[in-house]
Structure 1
Amino acid sequence: MTQTGSASRPAHPPHTTSGPSVSDDPEARPRVVPDPAIRRPHDGAGAGADRLGSSAALFAANADHREVERRLVAAGWTPCGAGDWAIALRSPGGAVAARISPFDPTGPYTAALYREAAHTRQVPVLFEHRRLAGGGDLQVMEWLRPVPEDEAAAFHRAIAAGAAEVAELVRVVRAVHERATRELPWCGPLDTNPSNVMRAADGHLVVADLFYADGPALYETAATRPDLLVARIPEPERRFMTEIPMTSSGPWSPGERAALRAGIAAADVRREVATT
């Protein structure tokens, strides 16, 4: 990401991809092979989903990203990846990954894709999705392994061409993405990052993180036109937008987070005064 050099907005605006960026070491990536206890949706919930349910119950329905991370780590989940928008934790048994974001407007649409396209077996198995307090997002899914870049690129090309083997997936992707672009400010196009294509336990390919917020445009607006930001995204849905990890495009430069928060807070006050 090109540096702006401006103290009024992040020197590295968040990269557009929504998923955690991870180490170049494939074994360090946050989605690896699930154990046999995790079953695909057509096989039933399975013992893995039961274990997941008990873990998800560790935090309250109104928990924010900090509370979720703290509770899961205390329960034995371990860090396994981080990107611009989210961190990833691996379950104690290694079968499940949790993606935790302080602020991710596209999270509900990604979860909708995983659910609505589950019958294609070309998206990850999603065990749990929760919106978190302050605009955060939690996705808990099966653990997958990476694939060679050429194989991933071929899968993306098949999606772009609407090839017969992915026709049903493409139908669902287009429908959900159309909803996202219609309803969501600063929604980006489909993400064709090869790292988004992964392999499930039985060897077949799945695609994740196709939807993302246009980070550079969103954060530049927050810095230079905060009144537009507060008018388009309610405060409860952006409270932690300055707490995204920025692992790939960052880190945040000294003082920029404070300046961004101050600008948004001032715009919130102006909006409140104007509406009272």
Structure 2
Amino acid sequence: MSEFVSSHIDWPSLNHAEVRQLLEDRGWRLLGSGDWARALVDNSGEVVARISAFEPAYGYFVDLCRRLAGNPWLPRIHLATELEGGGHLALMERLRPRDLDPEGPDAGASIDPLWCDPSDPYLRKLKQELENLDAMNRAEVPWWGGLDLKPDHFMIAADARLKLVDPLYVAGEQLYAAARDNYPEFCRIIPPERHRYLLQIAIFDQPDVAADLPALRQATGLP
């Protein structure tokens, strides 16, 4: 991992596919996919690369992690950079899912009970910062979705601490619909060079969502 953090690679000149190929050529392997990004893990098993072809929200979380560096509820970000065409790369510590009891009180919850604990000053600080950021972005960021604090967004670090990941999001379905229904207006809001690979984000790997691709490609001309 350190070779990438300290290297002189011109990351913004590479797109998401080129970055993934670069990492896989050095032994990184696919770990999983979400709605926006795909995650690769390095040979040590302790560093994850989050690669997105188009990224409207994760940069806000990276900025928060840097601003609150040392807050034990946030992951360590080793490197973060924009990629060609509107993508994003982040190298960070690996976190592992909790084994939530599907029959337990957290099952299906929209927010983790941990979030309501007032006794931890680090958690109080993080909560306030996120709420401030959410309020600001609701007024400024198109298709802003808000805070996403489901129990499975609290994951386990190597030292067994819980950490919060991906708490901020843009409403994807609204964003795709805007691109499909009025692409010129969409381009006015997000210029083409910032969404060149919009239709290559991870969610379109899912069969039910991939069914929307023909209409989106016809409306936008995107690959």
Maintained 8 Å contact 1:109/1:177: no
How many Å apart are 1:52 and its aligned residue? 4.5
Deviation at 1:192, TM superposition (A): 2.3
Measure how far apart 1:235 and its partner are. 1.3
Aligned residue for 1:236? 193
SS at match of 1:123: coil
- Structure with the greater alpha carbon radius of gyration: 1
CA offset at residue 100 of structure 1? 0.5
Q: Does 1:53 align with 2:5?
A: yes
Aligned to 1:260: 216
Q: Distance in 2 between matches of 1:128 and 1:179?
A: 25
d(CA) in 2 for partners of 1:134 and 1:185? 19
Q: What residue in structure 2 maps to residue 123 of structure 1?
A: 74
RCO higher in 1 or 2 (8 Å CA, sep ≥ 6)? 1
Matched, 1:215 2:172: yes
Does the alignment pair 1:114 with 2:88? no
Which of 12, 15, 21 lines up with 1:70 in the alignment? 21
> What is the CA-CA distance between 1:151 and the residue it aligns to?
6.7
2:77 counterpart letter in structure 1: L
CA distance in 1, matches of 2:111, 2:160: 14
Going from structure 1 to structure 2, the CA distance change for 1:205 and 1:154 (only over 3 Å counts) comes to: farther
Percent identity reads 30
Q: Distance in 2 between matches of 1:81 and 1:91?
A: 13
Q: TM-score, normalised by structure 2?
A: 0.84
Q: 2:88 aligns with which of 118, 133, 137?
A: 137
Contact 1:94 1:143 in 2 (8 A): yes
1:178-211 Cα deviation digits (max 9, x unpaired)? 3433332111021123221101111111000001
CA contact (8 A) 1:109 1:180 kept: no
Gaps spanning 5+ residues in structure 2: where? none
Aligned twin of 2:54: 103
Q: Which runs of 5+ in 1 are unaligned?
A: 1-47, 267-276
**Pairwise CA RMSD of aligned residues?**
2.6
Aligned partners of 1:58 and 1:72 also within 8 Å: no
Aligned to 1:33: none
Q: Is the 8 A contact 1:83 1:248 kept in 2?
A: no
Kindly provide the amino acid, as one letter, of the partner of residue 192 in structure 1. Answer: L
Q: Contact conserved, 1:58 with 1:71, CA < 8 A, in 2?
A: no
- CA displacement 1:208-240 (0-9 Å, x = unmatched): 000111011111121123233122111111111
Change (3 A) 1:194 1:57: farther
SS of residue matched to 1:164: coil
Q: Distance in 2 between matches of 1:104 and 1:242?
A: 11
Following the alignment from structure 1 to structure 2, what is the Cα–Cα distance between the partners of residues 222 and 105? 14
* Distance change (3 Å), C-alpha of 1:233 and 1:61: closer
How much does 1:96 deviate? 0.1
1:176: which partner in 2? 133
Paired letter, 1:116: R
Does the 8 Å contact 1:84/1:250 carry over to 2? no
How far off is 1:94 after superposition? Answer: 1.3
Answer whether contact 1:104 1:213 (CA < 8 A) is retained. Answer: no
Q: Which moved more, 1:144-153 or 1:170-179?
A: 144-153
Aligned positions of 1:180-191 closer than 5 A: 180-191=137-148
Normalized against structure 1, the TM-score is what?
0.69
Amino acid across the alignment from 1:144: L
State the aligned residue count. 214
Q: SS where residue 202 of structure 1 aligns?
A: coil
Higher share of residues assigned strand: 2
Q: Tell me, yes or no, if the aligned pair for 2:16 and 2:84 is still in contact at 8 Å.
A: yes
